[in-house]
Amino acid sequence: MKPKLNDVAQLAGVSVTTVSRVINNHGYLSQQTKDKVFAAMHELHYQPNNMARSLQGKNTQLIGVIFSDIRNPFFGELVSRIEKLLFAKNYKVILCNSADDPQKERDYLQMLMANQVDGIIAGAHNLGIEEYQQYGLPIISFDRYLSDNIPIVSSDNYHGGYLAAQALHQAGAKDIAIFSGKNQPGSPTNGRLEGYKDYLKEKNLISHVHELPFELSPALKTMEIKSILKQAHYDGIFCSDDLNAMLTISVARQLNISVPEDLKVVGYDGTEIIRNYSPELTTIEQPLADISTLLVSLLLQRVADANCDLEKEYVLPVKLVKGITA
Amino acid sequence: MKPKLNDVAQLAGVSVTTVSRVINNHGYLSQQTKDKVFAAMHELHYQPNNMARSLQGKNTQLIGVIFSDIRNPFFGELVSRIEKLLFAKNYKVILCNSADDPQKERDYLQMLMANQVDGIIAGAHNLGIEEYQQYGLPIISFDRYLSDNIPIVSSDNYHGGYLAAQALHQAGAKDIAIFSGKNQPGSPTNGRLEGYKDYLKEKNLISHVHELPFELSPALKTMEIKSILKQAHYDGIFCSDDLNAMLTISVARQLNISVPEDLKVVGYDGTEIIRNYSPELTTIEQPLADISTLLVSLLLQRVADANCDLEKEYVLPVKLVKGITA
pLDDT at residue B3, as a whole number = 72
Residue B52 lies in a domain: yes
Contact flag B108-A87 (C-beta cutoff 8 Å): yes
Contacts with B69 from chain A: Cβ below 8 Å: 80
| A14 and A101 share one domain | yes
CB neighbours of residue A216 within 10 Å: 16
SS3 content of chain B, % helix, strand, coil (to 5): 45, 15, 40
Closest by Cβ to B94, choosing from A93, A218, A219: A93
Amino acid (one-letter) located at B309? D
User: CB-based contacts of B72: which residues, under 8 Å, 6+ apart?
Assistant: B243
Residue B325 lies in a domain: no
| A25 and A142 share one domain | yes
Closest CA relative to residue B242, chosen from B187, B179, B189: B179
Q: Does B269 touch chain A (CB under 8 A)?
A: no
| B146 and B280 share one domain | no
What phi, psi does B293 have (nearest 5°)? -60, -45
| B85 and B218 share one domain | no
Residue B117 lies in a domain: yes
| A207 and A130 share one domain | no
Element (H, E) at A122: strand A119-123
pLDDT at residue A131, as a whole number = 67
Per the structure, the complete domain to which residue A20 belongs is given by 5-154+291-316
If phi over 0 gives left and psi between -120 and 50 gives alpha, with beta otherwise, what is residue A196? alpha
Closest by Cβ to B246, choosing from A20, A108, A277: A277
How many Cα atoms occupy the beta-carbon half-sphere of B156 within 13 Å? Answer: 12
Q: How many domains does chain A have?
A: 2
Residue B149 lies in a domain: yes
Instruction: Return the residue in B23, B24, B66, B248 with the most chain A beta carbons within 10 A, the one to mutate for interface testing.
Output: B24
pLDDT at residue B109, as a whole number = 80
Residue A324 lies in a domain: no
Residue A321 lies in a domain: no
Q: Radius of gyration of chain A from Cα atoms?
A: 23
Q: Does A86 touch chain B (CB under 8 A)?
A: no
| A196 and A121 share one domain | no
pLDDT in tens, chain A (326 residues): 567 788 888 888 998 888 877 776 666 778 788 888 878 876 776 755 433 443 444 578 889 999 988 999 999 999 999 999 999 998 999 999 887 788 888 888 877 776 668 899 998 766 566 667 666 689 999 988 888 788 999 999 999 999 999 999 999 999 999 999 877 776 777 899 999 999 999 999 999 999 988 778 899 999 999 999 999 999 999 999 999 999 999 999 999 999 999 999 999 999 999 999 999 999 999 999 999 999 999 999 999 988 889 999 999 999 999 999 99
Contacts with A111 from chain B: Cβ below 8 Å: 92
Distance CA B303, CA B100 (A): 27
pLDDT at residue A126, as a whole number = 65
| B202 and B259 share one domain | yes
CATH number of the domain within which B273 lies: 3.40.50.2300
| B32 and B138 share one domain | yes
| A240 and A134 share one domain | no
What phi, psi does B70 have (nearest 5°)? -75, -5
Contact flag A83-B95 (C-beta cutoff 8 Å): yes
pLDDT (tens digit per residue) in B99-135: 778 888 888 887 777 666 899 999 876 656 666 766 6
The H-assigned helical ranges of B188-231 are 190-202, 218-231
pLDDT (tens digit per residue) in A168-218: 999 999 999 999 987 777 677 789 999 999 999 999 999 999 998 877 889
| Residue ranges of A 128-157 with Cβ closer than 8 A to chain B | none
Q: How far is CA A300 from the centre of its chain?
A: 19
Distance CA A68, CA A105 (A): 9
Closest by Cβ to B76, choosing from A71, A93, A276: A71
Distance CA B110, CA B92 (A): 19
Find out whether the peptide bond into A218 is cis, omega within 30 degrees of 0. Answer: no
Distance CA A3, CA A244 (A): 51
Closest by Cβ to A52, choosing from B55, B65, B278: B55
Question: C-alpha angle with apex B268: B262 to B270, nearest 5 degrees?
Answer: 110
> Which stretches in chain B have pLDDT values below 70?
1-2, 24-27, 42, 45, 47-58, 114-116, 125-131, 133-136, 186
pLDDT at residue B186, as a whole number = 67
Contact flag A104-B87 (C-beta cutoff 8 Å): yes
pLDDT at residue A1, as a whole number = 55
| B149 and B36 share one domain | yes
Cβ(B284)–Cβ(B266) under 8 Å?
A: yes
Instruction: Write the DSSP symbol of residue A27.
Output: S
Distance CA B50, CA A271 (A): 43
| B161 and B269 share one domain | yes
CB neighbours of residue A80 within 10 Å: 24
In angstroms, how far is the first alpha carbon of chain A from the final one?
Answer: 65
Residue A179 lies in a domain: yes
| A131 and A189 share one domain | no
Residue A326 lies in a domain: no
CB neighbours of residue B58 within 10 Å: 10
